[in-house]
Chain A
Amino acid sequence: MIGGLVLHLTLLLLFAPLLQGVIVKTKARFAGRVGAPLLQPYYDLARLWRKGFVFSTTTTWVFLAGPVVGLVVPLLASLMIPFGALPAPVSFEGDLILFVYLFGLARFFTATAALDTGSSFEGMGAVREVTFSCLAEPTVLFALLVLARLSEGFSLNALLGPHLTEAWRSDAGAALGLILVCLFVVLLVENSRIPFDDPTTHLELTMIHEVMVLDHSGPAFGMILYGASLKLMVLGALLVRILLPLQTGWWLTDALVFLGGQLGVAVAIGVVESTMARLRLPRVPQVLIGTSLLSIFALVLVLR
Chain B
Amino acid sequence: MNRSKLIRFRHGACVPLAELPRLDFSVFRESLLEEVAGDARVASFFGYPTTAGLDIYAILARDWKGELALLHTQVSGNYPSLTPDCPQLHLFERELAEQYGVRPEGHPWLKPVRFHRAWLPVADIWGRDPGQHPVPGDMEFYRVEGEEVHEVAVGPVHAGVIEPGHFRFQCHGEEVMHLEISLGYQHRGIEQQLIGTPSLVTLRQLETVAGDTTIGHTTASCQMLESLSGHDALPRAHAIRAIGLELERLANHVGDIGALAGDVGFLPTSSFCGRLRGDYLNLMAELCGSRFGRGLVRPGGVQFDLDAALIERILKRLDVLEPETRGAFDICFDSPSVLARFEGTGRISIDDAENLGLVGVAAKACGLVRDARLHHPFGIDDEFLDMPIIETDGDVFARGNVRRRETYASIKLIRDTLKRLPAGGIFRPLAPLAPDSLAVSLCEGWRGEVVHAAITDRQGHISRYKIVDPSFHNWSGLAMALRGQQISDFPLCNKSFNLSYCGFDL
Question: Chain A: residues with CB nearer than 8 A to chain B?
Answer: 27, 30-33, 120-121, 124, 194-195, 198, 201-206, 273-283
Which applies to chain B's interface (DSSP): helix, strand, loop or mixed? helix
Across the interface, which residues of B come within 8 angstroms of A274, CB to CB?
Answer: 267-268
Min CB distance A279 to B, Å, is 7
Q: Tell me, in angstroms, the Cα distance from A275 to B337 when the chains sit together.
A: 9
Q: Which of B461-506 contact A (CB under 8 A)?
A: 486-492
Q: Output the least CB separation between A290 and chain B (Å).
A: 15
* Interchain CB contact (< 8 A) of A198 among B265, B268, B271, B337: B265
Question: A203 touches which one: B263, B271, B272 (CB < 8 A)?
Answer: B263
Q: A124-B487, A195-B265, A277-B265 are known contacts. Are A204 and B154 too (CB-CB below 8 A)?
A: yes
Q: Interface majority SS on A: helix, strand, loop or mixed? A: loop
A205 engages B338 (CB within 8 Å)? no
* Residue in B closest to A197 when the chains form the complex, CB atoms: B265
Check if A277 sits within 8 Å of B335, measured CB to CB. Answer: yes
A33 touches B271 (CB 8 A): yes
> What is the distance, in angstroms, from A114's C-beta to the closest C-beta of chain B?
15
In the assembled complex, B9 has its CB within 8 A of some CB on chain A: no
> Are A31 and B270 within 8 A (Cβ)?
yes
28 A–B contacts, CB within 8 A, in A order: A31-B267, A32-B268, A32-B272, A32-B275, A120-B150, A120-B151, A121-B152, A124-B152, A124-B174, A204-B159, A205-B491, A206-B488, A273-B267, A276-B266, A277-B264, A277-B265, A277-B266, A277-B335, A277-B338, A277-B340, A278-B264, A278-B337, A278-B341, A279-B341, A280-B345, A280-B489, A281-B486, A283-B340
CB distance B265 to A273 under 8 Å?
yes
* Chain B residues engaging chain A, CB cutoff 8 angstroms: 150-154, 159-160, 174, 261, 263-268, 270-272, 275, 335, 337-338, 340-341, 345, 486-492
The smallest C-beta distance from B259 to any residue of chain A, in angstroms, reads 11
Q: Please, how many angstroms separate the alpha-carbon atoms of A280 and B263 in the complex?
A: 11
Complex Cα–Cα for A289 and B39 (A): 52
Nearest 7 Cβ contacts at the A-B interface: A31-B271, A278-B265, A203-B491, A277-B264, A277-B266, A277-B337, A198-B265
With A278-B264, A279-B340 known to touch, is A32 a contact of B271 (CB < 8 Å)? Answer: yes
Of A121, A195, A204, A206, most buried by chain B (CB within 10 Å of CB) is A206
Which residues of chain A have C-beta atoms less than 8 A from B491's C-beta? 203, 205-206
> How distant is the Cα of A198 from the Cα of B270 in the complex, in angstroms?
14
A279 to B486, CA, bound (A): 13
A282 to chain B, nearest CB (A): 7
Cβ–Cβ contact B340 & A281, under 8 A: no
